Amino acid sequence: MIRAYLFALDPTEAQADAMASHCGATRVAYNWCLAQVKANWSQRAAEQTYGLTGDQLTPWMASSAYSLRKAWNAAKDEVAPWWKQNSKEAYASGCANLAAALANRTAGRAKMPRFKSKRTARMSCKFTTGRFGLVRDRRHVQLPVIGVVRTGESTRKLARKIEAGTARIRSATLSYQRGRWHVSFSVDLPDAAPEERTGGGVVGVDLGIAHLATLSTGEQVPNQRRLDAELSNLRRAERACARRRGPDRRTGAAPSNRWKKARARADRIHTRVANLRRNDTHQFTSRLVREFDTIVIEDLHVAGMLRNRRLARHIAGVSWGQIRRQLTYKTERAGVRLVVADRWFASSKTCSECGTAKAKLPLNERVFACLACGIVLDRDENAARNLAALAVDTGELRRELPDGSDVRRACSHAPQSHRHGKSPHRTQRHHRKVVAR
């Protein structure tokens, strides 16, 4: 099993300059190789218009990482006479990145790669050989040419595995993200085979906006609304950026120093909000995996819900997609069972006590009142209980009602829309709004 360990770095000014130089070297090698490949392809296309074929054409330039690196080494003295200032792995990383991009283009998974901009491209560099790894004091890391760099946190979690002989570092990726330098170690670990937990703890998780989630136990996890708390400060910072002289691509004007400082203040706010939101999500998902043996969630169409301009910012702020992604890999590691309910399962309209389904349930009705059995409870808690009931089945979304019918068949919107002569497209949009609440 290959796992990544990410550590924030606290480099000195000289080390930060060296890191930026390595990332810039990666970009230069990438752009140069891409220019050579495009020139070779354009030359062959032009020769074909003159009727040349076969051996008469200019030979293909191979797009493998080995071939691109060989071509770069032959021309680096002329293209980049300063290449000795950085590790050779910086240039090899650029060649390998382009080879992967061209392979994706050949396989139809991506379009033709474009040149990386010095201003907008993400700075990153990968090391596969050389002296890199952890230092024994567990507060520093070793990088080729750059040297020993202090980390923002202890590396003991990875150091203990390496000292025990159960982990091996394969590569290190240096990157600048969220306003800080980071290093990510790709670690080879033994395949994890945890025993499936069968203690019986089952929980249904109904995600929402007013509350981050409502559990089938009745607990409501609060939504911290990290962005709303910083929105006034963010508006002020963005307004300051708008009043400064920023970069202009059309005229080539460079940004002023005051704009750079204002932009840095705004970026720090964005970084703080993202870090707090990420921390909230990790704590919530880790607690679910730690306390329950079976977790049932909904298959939400988040991309479709984000088209609602009134709720898009609030939906993006609760990170539903991240919650499902984290639950997926955390449950696999811990041996916890994860059940994903069908997208059309009407968890909100179905009574969790008797299984009776309502024909309509407006969004403004936040309390579910069943006319058949008389139960009255919170709407989201009722949905969470219905999700927890799915764990009784072996992952199958089938549950019989008192009359012998199926919940999914009885509550699905699509069959009802055809019976009433309504458009299925309008019904899907309505369903997305219902699930969003």
Q: What residues are annotated to the active site?
A: 206, 298, 380
- As a whole number of angstroms, the distance between CA 317 and CA 227 comes to 7
Taking the C-alpha atoms of residue 34 and residue 24, their distance in angstroms, rounded to an integer, is 15
State the burial class of residue 56 (Cβ atoms within 10 Å of its Cβ: 0-12, 13-18, 19+). exposed
CA–CA gap between residue 47 and residue 50 (Å, rounded)? 5
Round to whole Å and give the CA distance between 356 and 334. Answer: 36
Cβ–Cβ < 8 Å for 201, 369: no
Only one residue has tokens 């704590």, namely 283
In order, the DSSP letters of 377-399 are EEHHHHHHHHHHHGGGSSS----
Q: Measure the CA–CA gap between 44 and 34, rounded to whole angstroms.
A: 16
Residue 340 bridge partners (DSSP)? 297
Residue 62: DSSP 8-state: P
Maximum alpha-carbon separation in the chain:
85
Element (H, E) at 46: helix 13-49
Q: Rg (Cα) of the chain, in Å, rounded?
A: 28
For the chain, the residue count is 437
Surface-to-core class of residue 120, CB atoms within 10 Å of its CB (0-12 exposed, 13-18 middle, 19+ buried): exposed
Residue 357: phi and psi, rounded to 5, are: -105, 135
Residue type, 308: N
| Distance, CA of 398 to CA of 402 (rounded, Å) | 13
Which residues, in sequence order, are CB contacts of 117 under 8 Å at separation 6+? Answer: none
CB contact at 8 A, 298 and 207: yes
Assigned token pair, 307: 């088209």
Structure tokens at 259: 């704009």
> Among all chains, which residue has been given the structure tokens 């997926």?
328
Q: Read out DSSP for 306-319?
A: TT-TTTHHHHHHHT
